[in-house]
């Protein structure tokens, strides 16, 4: 070390190096879960995130029929623990990056599955596949939840299989900006719903129903939308679980609206704090 150069003077340089390495690592991994949550929240507020945009494509999506189920290989892109808990018997577990960078798979007919609710994430995977030259990849619309609702079987733990059509607060929050999301909400939860700003923004895609009318309301919406929209039932408990198990495009919200409200408040706080961080240090920025 040169005379007169103090350790304290080197700390900012080291700090900048750590931040740069972190940023490159996050981008190489396709952004962290925190970045996705932050991006989702800003999208709900109508704010354009300032990190690189991610393209989406719906060209890969297919409905479940005998032909799509007979792909050369079924690839499950969920986390390994979820795969071990429940999966299609003939499927293999690969991360999206492993899938897209495998030369062995580029010329096979692939059917890709996830849980089924996060259609935006799968649309991003479709766009990445197109860019990578993977032209034989299909994505199962509504994923494993749709697979089970169609009467097909999985191997694994019964509780894990039953959870496939249930949506947590985190999953709901991450999908609020999705164009294909429709809500059916129990009228008894109206006051709580009105306290959640992000849900008020979904009022044009929300239908209210009493518990005793839920099945008829759901069937009317399914007739109108077909399989082009995923429908989330909010505030109906066991009845929602029962209906979600019968229809491929239908999911049940598994948490309370209070849990969702707490999560949204926390995300709002994160987004507010993010505004205080220099842009060059923000995730993906």
Query: What is the tens place of the pLDDT at every residue in 37-70?
Result: 555 555 554 444 434 457 889 999 999 888 777 8
The Cα 161–Cα 153 span in angstroms is 9
What six digits make up the tokens of 175?
């999908």
Q: List pLDDT tens digits, range 238-249.
A: 899 999 999 999
For 113-157, what is each residue's pLDDT tens digit? 999 999 999 999 999 998 888 888 999 999 999 999 999 999 999
Name the E strands within the chain.
Answer: 61-62, 73-76, 86-87, 92-93, 110-113, 137-140, 155-156, 166-167, 181-186, 206-209, 230-234, 250-253
pLDDT at residue 74 is higher than 80 = yes
Q: Distance between CA 134 and CA 99 in Å, rounded?
A: 10
pTM: 0.75
For the chain, percent helix, then strand, then coil, each to nearest 5? 50, 15, 35
Band of pLDDT at residue 279, cut at 50, 70 and 90: low
What's the confidence (pLDDT) of residue 4? 41
∠ CA(260), CA(161), CA(247), 5° rounding?
A: 75
Please tell me the CATH code under which domain 61-163 is placed. 3.40.250.10
Percent of residues, the chain, with pLDDT higher than 70: 73
Distance between CA 201 and CA 124 in Å, rounded? Answer: 24
Contact (CB, 8 A) for 172 and 193: no
C-beta separation of 68 from 111 below 8 A: yes
pLDDT recorded at residue 39: 56
Q: Count other C-beta atoms under 10 Å from residue 53's C-beta.
A: 9
Domain boundaries, the chain: 61-163
155-156 and 86-87 as β-strands: parallel, antiparallel, unpaired?
antiparallel
CA distance 200 to 21: 39
Identify whether the C-beta of residue 116 lies closer than 8 Å to the C-beta of residue 142: yes
């Amino acid at each position: 070390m040169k005379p007169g150069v103090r350790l304290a003077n080197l700390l900012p340089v080291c700090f900048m190096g750590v931040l740069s390495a972190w940023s490159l690592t996050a981008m190489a991994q396709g952004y962290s879960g925190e970045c996705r949550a932050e991006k989702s929240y800003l999208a709900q507020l109508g704010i354009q995130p300032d990190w690189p945009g991610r393209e989406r494509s719906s060209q890969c999506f297919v409905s479940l029929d005998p032909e799509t189920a007979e792909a050369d290989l079924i690839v499950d892109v969920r986390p390994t623990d979820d795969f071990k808990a429940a999966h299609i018997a003939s499927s293999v577990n690969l991360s999206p990056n492993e899938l897209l960078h495998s030369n062995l798979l580029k010329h096979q007919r692939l059917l890709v599955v996830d849980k089924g609710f996060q259609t935006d994430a799968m649309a991003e995977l479709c766009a990445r596949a197109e860019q990578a030259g993977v032209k034989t990849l299909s994505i199962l619309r509504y994923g494993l939840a749709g697979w089970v609702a169609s009467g097909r079987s999985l191997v694994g733990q019964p509780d894990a299989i039953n959870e496939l059509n249930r949506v947590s607060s985190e999953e709901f929050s991450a999908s609020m900006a999705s164009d294909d999301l429709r809500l059916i909400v129990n009228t008894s939860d109206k006051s709580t719903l009105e306290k959640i700003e992000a849900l008020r923004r979904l009022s044009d895609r929300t239908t209210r129903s009493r518990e005793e009318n839920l099945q008829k309301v759901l069937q009317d919406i399914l007739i109108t939308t077909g399989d082009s929209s995923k429908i989330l039932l909010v505030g109906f408990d066991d009845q929602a679980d029962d209906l979600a198990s019968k229809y491929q495009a239908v999911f049940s919200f598994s948490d309370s609206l209070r849990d969702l409200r707490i999560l949204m408040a926390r995300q709002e706080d994160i987004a507010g704090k993010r505004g205080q961080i220099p842009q060059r240090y923000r995730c993906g920025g």
